[in-house]
Amino acid sequence: MNEIKLGDVLVTRVEEMHGPILPTEAFFPTIPGDAWQRHESSLTPDHLGDGMVHVAMQTWVLRSEGRTILVDTGVGNDKSRPAVEAWDHLDLDFLGNLAKAGIQPEDVDLVINTHLHVDHVGWNTRLVDGEWVPTFPNATYLMPQADFLFWDPANHPGLVGGVNENVFDDSVAPVYAAGQVQLWEGTHDIDANLRLEAAPGHTPGSSVLTLSSGTDRALFAGDLIHTPLQVMEFGHNSCFCEDPAAAVATRRALLARAADHNALVLPAHLSGSGALEVAHRGDGFAITRWAPFDRL
């Protein structure tokens, strides 16, 4: 199954790719090796294998109040990514996967970038006759203003090397130039079911999309969580978290909210079943249930 209904909202999982990405100690420098071993049975084979963290690049597609909404847009094709060889000049059939889910680019009404890292904005644009053009010609792209300012090389010339090199220029600026970007800050109501909320830490503009429809609740958590181990070990960040203390605080608040309201947590990158439910356990949290999506 690639679709679930939450209240009146249809949630569809569309994959770009999945597999091993980084060694555990490189991706999560502060998580001790024995923590991976202690939880190995719940992490392998979907999230851990041979010392490597496994993740998915995927887009959550929401159909809500008659609109088609994409949450995060993966790495994208044809992009020059000198810092990450596995993401350099990709040629993947993500648009074919979207089509299999019944979605053509012109059908998309809204694109949500939970934040503006390389692996969340890639399919914002595609290369046509040597130019980067918006992939979704009829969509408004919602971007957090704090990230838009933070990742613009004009504002931080020394910052934007590394993993986000070229990203603003090829995946953000062309959409802005086309007049399709709407910047937001604080909170932003999308419709009666969906609301964006700032959750800074991983990046200054990181955000969570909340779903509340009927009795169902869900939290699209972006990169507040990269691996299920960060549920049990919520005090540990990825090496890509810009503000470690804030990242821990927003992760803890997210998990507490999910536990208190029985909300499904859908991070950007979980492979396997893609989403999970949690409960309070002592001073921390435990996974209580996995979503019924087909495993990646």
Residues that bind Zn ion (CB under 5 A): 119, 223
Report, in Å, the least distance between residue 128 CB and Zn ion: 25
Report, in Å, the least distance between residue 117 CB and Zn ion: 5
208 vs 259, which CB is nearer to Zn ion? 208
Report, in Å, the least distance between residue 240 CB and Zn ion: 7
119 vs 216, which CB is nearer to Zn ion? 119
Contacts of 170 (CB under 8 A, 6+ apart): 79, 80, 125, 132
16 vs 223, which CB is nearer to Zn ion? 223
Report, in Å, the least distance between residue 119 CB and Zn ion: 4
Task: Indicate the DSSP class of residue 172.
Answer: I
71 vs 139, which CB is nearer to Zn ion? 71
Q: How many CA atoms are closer than 13 Å to the CA of 249, on its beta-carbon side?
A: 11
119 vs 242, which CB is nearer to Zn ion? 119
CB 223 within 8 A of CB 250: no
68 vs 206, which CB is nearer to Zn ion? 206
Which amino acid, 49? G
Report, in Å, the least distance between residue 67 CB and Zn ion: 24
**45: preceding bond cis by omega (within 30 degrees):** yes
Report, in Å, the least distance between residue 71 CB and Zn ion: 12
109 CB neighbour count, 10 Å cutoff: 16
- For residues 213 and 5, what is the distance between their CA atoms, to the nearest angstrom? 10
- For residues 67 and 50, what is the distance between their CA atoms, to the nearest angstrom? 42
7 vs 20, which CB is nearer to Zn ion? 20
Q: Which two tokens stand for residue 117?
A: 């890292």
For residues 222, 60, 277 and 271, what is the CA-based torsion angle, rounded to 10 degrees? -80
- For residues 19 and 46, what is the distance between their CA atoms, to the nearest angstrom? 8
Report, in Å, the least distance between residue 191 CB and Zn ion: 25
Task: Indicate the DSSP class of residue 143.
Answer: E
Q: Which two tokens stand for residue 222?
A: 């972006």
173 vs 221, which CB is nearer to Zn ion? 221
CB 203 within 8 A of CB 5: no
Report, in Å, the least distance between residue 118 CB and Zn ion: 8
- For residues 193 and 253, what is the distance between their CA atoms, to the nearest angstrom? 21
